[in-house]
Structure formats: structure tokens, C-alpha cells
Chains A and B, each alone.
Chain A
Amino acid sequence: MTSDHIRKSFSILFVLIFFAYLFGPLIIMSLTAFNSSSFPRVTPWECFSVEWFEFLTKDQKLIEGLQNSVFIGLGVVCLAVPMGLAGALMLTQVRERVRPWYYTITISPILVPGVVLGISTLLFWDRVGTMFGASRESVFYNGFFLTIIGQATFISAYTMLVFISRLQRFDRVQEEAALDLGATHVQTFRKILLPFLKPAIASAAVLAFLASFENYNTTVFTIVSESTLTTFLAAKVRHGINPSISALAVVIVVLTLLGAALHEAFKRRELAAEKESARVAKGEQKSRGAQSRFLFDPTVIMILLIFTAGLGTAYFAGTIGLDECKTEVLAEKRRIVQERIKKRQQKTMFQDAGRQALTPLTQEEIKKRQAAPGTSNFQGLFSPENLEEQVGTSKEETQDAPGRAGTENFQSIFAPRNLEEQVGSEEQKQSE
């Protein structure tokens, strides 16, 4: 039995690690958005701040990309939902022999790499435009048009799958009854089939919008000269990272969580309504619980409350006391750098205070600084002339006392007055 216990605890550990792997990166990224350090990181933690969120709202390109993304998302919903619906209805009607082929072709865009879809869309409409002799400003070369078409190609397949799974539960008898009672085909479609498909339409629309909103692989080819949120993000991440991207991620994560929660609540309500109607159909009495309206659903209210409360707290905590904290951190950093300089000077003294000994170090330091923009506060500290000055002073000192023992040299460097002077000059430089 003990081996069983070991195995059980081992599997629990495995599941825990799996979920840590799933959520760890997202949590860490979200945390970096609240750290005032100018490089996204959690350690060392500097100050709790929301300034990166304010930074976001000032980014005009981001706002533009966001607007474009929303516009494209709505366009994709308008195109993909009817097409997915038509595709699903068609599947129920095509002949048995054609069905596998039909299904394979309509599903294939999901499996085709997004990059390929984007390229083929771009090329196809380009050629069509040339055939019609359309100008370069026409719709065939428009990034929005191409992106909506390109994304709708595979998103329609998603929506079709949603509709197929809903249609499997549809009772054809209802339709036949309506037709027998003299309804026209369009009437039957509108009064019987559409109401039955309504929840599926809603979830297909949500799915289509989200899929469009987060698509990158296809969009990057079809967008041409415009930009969406994802292409903006990609450009930004590639050109150098700062916590404002994490802040954007936090916003997106929170919004998707909110959307997922609302979607779940919505689905539950639909399910309850369905059960209710089934009960009514059986002739039972209406229960009161199913009457609760969507917006007054307790879970929804709870989610919204927590969301606003969290937002408010974060905002106040992030603005109050930020400046003091920042100055503290700055002073701390300054102290560390001073110490480093001191150590280096000490080293150079031992190594005969030569410029040759210092130069490689300087370059290494500069590289380090470039790799970590977090220390940008100390720009100029490691600039060559700055160091030359320091080397210069130490050289002077050695030249002053060539015959004296090395220890005496060090004494003067470590004299408190001497250090104060150096710190003073550093600070002066920074205030400049």
C-alpha cells in the first residue's frame, strides 16, 4: 500500500507543477507591471506603482491599434457567424457520399498554419485586384479588408463547429411540424431554427471576436500598412521591452477573465432556461430560480465588485508614496554603485593603476549597462571620460608618491573625506 501512497502524492505533485507551469509565467508577468523598475522584473522589487498603466493610456499608437483590432473583430464576427451557420446547416444536407470531403475542406483552415492562410489571402486578392485593374487604394489592397477575410477563413470553421454541436441536439420534427402547419421556409428558419440556435450564435460571436482579437500569424501578413493590437505588441516586444507591455497584459488578462466569467454565467443561465423549458414542456410548474436575470446574477455582481475594488486599491496604493519610495530606491542603487566603484578602484590600485587594466573593465561595464536598461538612472556614470577622470586622479596620486609604500596610497583613498568628495561629484553629475 505504501507504494500506492507514494504514487498518489507523486501524481498530486505533478499536477501542482503542471498548474504552476501554466499560471506561473502569467502571474510573474502581471506582477512586473506593478514594479516601478524600468525593466520588467519581479526581483529586485523596487516600488509598487501603477505608472506603467498611465504610460499605456498616453500611447497613441496603442489606442489606434486597439481601435483597429476592435473594428476587425466586429467585421470578422459579421462574416464568420453567418458563414459558420451556413456551413453547419449545409453539412446536415449534403449527400452522405460528399459529406467527408465537405467536412475535410471546411475544417482544413483550422489545421493550416496561420502564416499560410495570411499569405494565400494576400496573394489571391492581390491577383484579383490586378485582374479587375483596380487601383492600389482599392479594397483589394486594403489591410482591414484582407485581415477580415483572412481571419474569417479559419474563424468560420470554429463557429461552424459550435453550430454543429448545437444542431446535433435539434429536433427536426419541430421544423416539419411548422412546415406542415403552413409556415414558409423562411418563417420556419426564423421562428424555429434561429431561436434554437440563439445561444450558439452568441457563443460563436464571442469566440469569433476573441479569436480575431488575439490572432497574430495571419494578421501580420494581411494587415499591410495598418496596425492592430497584436502587430503593435509584436513590434514593441521586439524593439525592447518595458513593463508597459506587462501592464497591457494585465489589462488583457483581466478583461479575458471577466469575459470568460460572463460567458460561463451566460451559458449557465441558458442551460437553466433550457431545463426550465423542458420542465414546462412536461407540464410541470415553473420554478422561481430560473427567472433570475442575467445582469443581477450574483456571480456576475461579485465579479464586477471584486474587479472594481481591486482596481481602486491598486490605483491608490500605486500613487501614494511612490515618489518617496523611488528616491529611496535611487539612493540605494547609488550606494551600491558607489561601492562597486570603490572596489574597482581598490583593484586597480593593486594592479598598478594602469589605464590598460581599466579599459576592458569599462567596456564590460558598458555592455552590462546596455543589457540591463534598469540602471538607466546612472547613465553617464560609466561613460569612458568619466572613468578616465577617475583613473586620472588615481594616477596622479600614485605619481605623487612613487617611493612610498602602497598601503599609504590606499589610506588616502579610503579616507572618509575623499569618498565624500567622490559621491558629491557623482551626485552632481546626476543632477545635471
Chain B
Amino acid sequence: MGFWQDFFRKNGKALGLFLLGSVACWMLLMIILPQLFMLDFSFRTNVPPPLWGTEAHGYTFEHYRYMIYGSAQSTESYNFVDLSVFGRTILTAIFVTLIDVALCYPVAYYLAHVATGGWPRLMVMALIVPFWVNELLRAFAFKIMFGSTGIINNFLVAIGILDQPFDFIRNSVALYSGLSYAYILLMIFPIYNAVESLDKNQIEAARDLGSPWWRIHWRVVIPHAKPGITSGCTMVFMLTAGALAAPQILGGPSSLWFTQIIYQAFNQAGNWARGSAYAIILLATCIIFVLCVMKIFKVKLGEIAR
């Protein structure tokens, strides 16, 4: 009780109520309760909306079972369609994350320690610009570039590497590059911030002691940048796995993304319960991934969400 007395003494009644009210609204009505309701809903049978909350709307595991085994009528022993989409989504998200690390680390290091004069500041500002362009439009830009008459195909055909246009969209090349592009800035900024805080003298010292450049990176720079890399990886992984715009626009006709299956369950099949069960699966996977990464790299959540 002492805390609340103290709280209202410190803030006064009006301000205290405002703080308490807004935070309570936000945490309960917008963060915690909706997630709990979604969890609850995912365990309910799929009945039409008028019956929600009645007896018919009972508890069941059917949606989770469906994800693994498919419908009762199907002859397959497992639900290969959804499981393979799920697996592909997670693997692709990991792949995209690794590509982004490989792309961003050298650039971040260059910006932080190699570039001189006014360049780093200008480049960092330039990095922000594409991030403010709508996600859909960024995907659209890739669709234009990778189309069968797009500039890349025209170029490759013109210089004679290909004799006929290559279908980048059907082969998911457009999707992978679009996804790597979409969240690359959430990778480069944490790494840049971490690398920048490294004292240049440490690099100099390692060099003076005769360490080759790759060992300087391996033993000095990367350990220092670890929190930044971890934070970038979690952000990029989460956003890529949960992306909807880029797969909708860049995905080929036969390739689905897990979020698209959720979207279909809601908007086409009208099966909200299954949609929320799948959303819970996605959420749980993301949380497990973050916890694993935190455990492996020994960083705290506070360091990630910055």
C-alpha cells in the first residue's frame, strides 16, 4: 500500500490518475487482454458469430490438431501444406536474417570506423530515407525490377547472360531480396550503434600486436558488437516471419507465407478460430526464437528493444 500512497503524493491526484489510467488502458485493454482473448478464442470451436459465447462455442484442440494432422477427412497422415509453409517461412526468415547480417556488418563497420569527414553522418541520414517509404511500395519497386520485362531481365538478356527472361518471381528470388530489403535498416542501426561505441584504440592495439584483419574482427569488433547484432537479428527475424505485404506482392503463385495462411483463414475461409490458433503459433515461435537468441548470445531484453 505504501507504494500507491507514495505514488499519489509524488504526482498529485489528477496527474496520478492520468498516469495510472493511461497505463492501465494500454497494458490491459490493448496489450494483455487482447492476447489472452486471442489465446482463448484459438481453443474454441468454429461456429458462426451469432453463436459466440453460447454453449455451442466450447473448447477444443481442433485448430492446433489441424495444423499438424490436417482435416479428419484427409488421407495424408500430416498436414503437409500448412506445415511446409510454416517451415519454409521460418527457414526463409532465418536465411534473410543471416543475409542482412552479412550485408550490414561490413557497412556498419565502414561507417563507424573507416569513413572519414562528413560522409558517415550523411550516409546515416541517407539510410533512414528508404525506411520511411511504405513497405508495400518497396515491395512494388522490387516487383517492377524483377518482372519478366523488368530492368534486370532486360539487362541480363541484353548483355547475353540469359537468352530469355528468367522468372525471378516464381523462383522466389524477388521475394528473398524484397524481404531482405524491407527490414535491413533495423539490422544496420543497432550494429552501427554498437560498433561505433568501440574505442578505436582497441583496434589499433590489436593491429600493433600483429593481429591480421580478420582476427581483429573476430576477437575484438564482433564481441563488442554482439548486443547490436543480436538486437538486429531478433527484430529482422520477427518482422520477416510476420511480414504480410512483401509475400503478398512478391510471392509467386505457388509459394505462400505463413501470415498469408492466417490472412486466408480470416478473410476467405471465415474461420477466425483457426486464424487465431495459427497466429498464436506464429507468436509462440517468435517468442521462442527471441528467448533462444537471448540465451545463446547472453543478452537481456532491455538491450534488444532499444
Contact = CB atoms under 8 A, between A and B. Distances in A.
Interface string A160-196: 0100000000000000000000001110010000000
Contacts of B143: 237, 241
B233 interface: no
Task: Name which of A28, A371, A374 has the most chain B CB atoms within 10 A of its CB.
Answer: A28
Given A22-B184, A237-B249, A264-B125, A83 B26 contact: yes
Contacts of B1: none
Contacts of B282: 113, 115-116
B129 interface: yes
Nearest to A42: B151
Contacts of B144: 25, 28-29, 32, 40-41, 241, 246
A18 interface: yes
Interface string B1-24: 001000100111011101111110
Nearest to A190: B15
A340 B115 CA distance: 54
B53 interface: yes
A107 B19 contact: no
Contacts of B213: 7
Contacts of A83: 22-23, 25-26
B38 interface: yes
Contacts of B241: 113
B117 interface: no
A87 interface: yes
A136 to B, nearest CB: 9
Nearest to A117: B34
A216 interface: yes
Nearest to B3: A95
B106 interface: yes
Nearest to A193: B15
A107 B305 contact: yes
A119 B263 CA distance: 10
Interface string B235-255: 100110111110011000000
A5 B128 CA distance: 30
A186 B14 contact: yes
A249 B31 contact: no
A238 B15 CA distance: 48
B218 interface: no
A118 B151 CA distance: 36
Contacts of B123: 15, 19
A210 B151 CA distance: 31
Interface residues of B, number: 94
B206 interface: no
A25 B12 contact: no
A75 interface: no
Interface in A67-100: 82-83, 85-87, 89-90, 93, 95, 100
Contact of B305 (A32, A110, A115, A259): A110
A372 B149 contact: yes
Given A115-B262, A119-B275, A252 B286 contact: no
Interface in A1-43: 7-8, 11-12, 14-15, 18-19, 21-26, 28-29, 32, 39-43
Interface string A338-373: 000000000000000000000000000000000110
Contact of A115 (B18, B19, B25, B279): B279
B302 interface: yes
B296 interface: no
B162 interface: no
Contact of A217 (B107, B133, B244): B244
Given A108-B31, A113-B241, A115-B242, A124 B142 contact: no
Interface stretch (A149-157, A388-396, A400-408, A413-421): A149-157
Contacts of A143: none
B266 interface: yes
A26 B110 CA distance: 24
A133 to B, nearest CB: 11
A268 to B, nearest CB: 12
Nearest to A185: B12
B266 A216 contact: no
Interface string B173-208: 000000001001000000000000000000000000
A116 B12 contact: no
B48 interface: no
Given A21-B181, A241-B143, A124 B38 contact: yes
B34 A121 contact: yes
A251 to B, nearest CB: 10
B133 A111 contact: no
Interface string B259-290: 10011001000001001100100110010001
A67 B306 CA distance: 33
B31 A252 contact: no
A20 to B, nearest CB: 12
B223 interface: no
Interface string B68-100: 000000000000000000000000000000000
Given A105-B32, A185-B15, A217 B243 contact: yes
Given A107-B305, A249-B133, 18 more contacts: A11-B106, A12-B110, A15-B111, A41-B150, A100-B302, A105-B32, A116-B283, A119-B38, A119-B279, A123-B41, A127-B37, A156-B26, A156-B30, A216-B136, A230-B136, A233-B134, A256-B129, A264-B125
The 3 residue pairs across chains A and B that have the minimum distance between CB atoms = A113-B242, A185-B12, A86-B22
